[in-house]
Structure 1
């Protein structure tokens, strides 16, 4: 589930030692989990701040607490510490923070959102754009994803190609039961469009 490398354990233990508080631990959590604004955070955790429902991992040098709501969003997360010429840096990579990992059994909305946030939006971000799922509609042939573009994609002259060759093709190949994608964006608004 969550991995804390040995170098990160040593670094965190050193930080905890400097706090001079008996029983000081580390807490990891995700703010705004499951949204594009999710942030993964590490904080000190004093003994009186421990919550009984926390998930606890005992490391040789310290305890790590994880708030239960953050657990699915921290699956496959890695906390690492790497030294460099300037000293070192603690990093947290949590690929599922913005959207928990999904499988073929997950609800179709979760599957679509996961692909949008983890694969499609990072590519659109280079043009200042994004796409999000508005809703799903049921038609006789199957499910249709209703999407809305924003940022540099709104009003962009290449949005039809992006929708058909990129977004729709990817989603239909990867999400069982999805037969089409429709765009409900008002593309008459062109102020931020990547291509005019």
Structure 2
């Protein structure tokens, strides 16, 4: 499940011994798990800090506590501590933390939502924008709502047709069209105002 090297265990053990707090261990969790922004959070934890549903991994001289909700995303994680001439470096690799692409037989909604979260929205973030899935009709037409800098943006139509629609139709079998369900007149902070995009 979690592979924690002897050098990493030694590193944590030395730090814990220096603190001299009875029962002090290490808690590992995933923040924003299953999204492109996912990251690993590692912190010292006393018994009173625990929620009670953590999974315990017995290590040499301490316990590594895994946040219960994070377990599926931390499965297969590797924790290592590498000593270098300039000091040491802790490395945590969690290959499942950002989630796994849905299988080919997953629902159209799941496949579209995964591509939006992991490919489309990270690109739109440079314009302070994002899209959310509104609905998918029986014919495979995907309806999206633009938000942030894309809400009311004069280039939203181009982004939709030349970027988002092309990506979804190429990468998600079953998508037949992509349509905008946003009322752009209500956009409060568009990246490019609609009247200046002419």
**Normalization by structure 1: what TM-score?**
0.72
Paired residue secondary structure (1:157): coil
Cα deviation, residue 7, structure 1: 6.5
**What whole-Å deviation, never above 9, does each CA across 1:54-95 have from its counterpart, x for those lacking one?**
3343444543222232123335666676899x9777676767
Distance 1:116 1:78, change over 3 A: farther
> 1:114 aligned to 2:114?
yes
Higher-Rg structure is: 2
Q: Return 5+ residue gaps in structure 2 as ranges.
A: 194-198
**What whole-Å deviation, never above 9, does each CA across 1:132-182 have from its counterpart, x for those lacking one?**
11233222xxx2322111111111121112112221222222223222222
> 1:179 aligned to 2:176?
yes
Cα deviation, residue 107, structure 1: 3.5
> 1:192 aligned to 2:195?
no
Distance 1:64 1:38, change over 3 A: same
What is the distance in 2 between the residues matched to 1:79 and 1:114? 27
Give the aligned partner of residue 155 of structure 2.
158
Distance 1:14 1:109, change over 3 A: farther
Q: Return 5+ residue gaps in structure 1 as ranges.
A: none
Give the aligned partner of residue 24 of structure 1.
24
What is the distance in 2 between the residues matched to 1:183 and 1:2? 43
What is the RMSD of the two structures over their aligned residues, measured on CA atoms? Answer: 3.6
Aligned residue pairs total 191
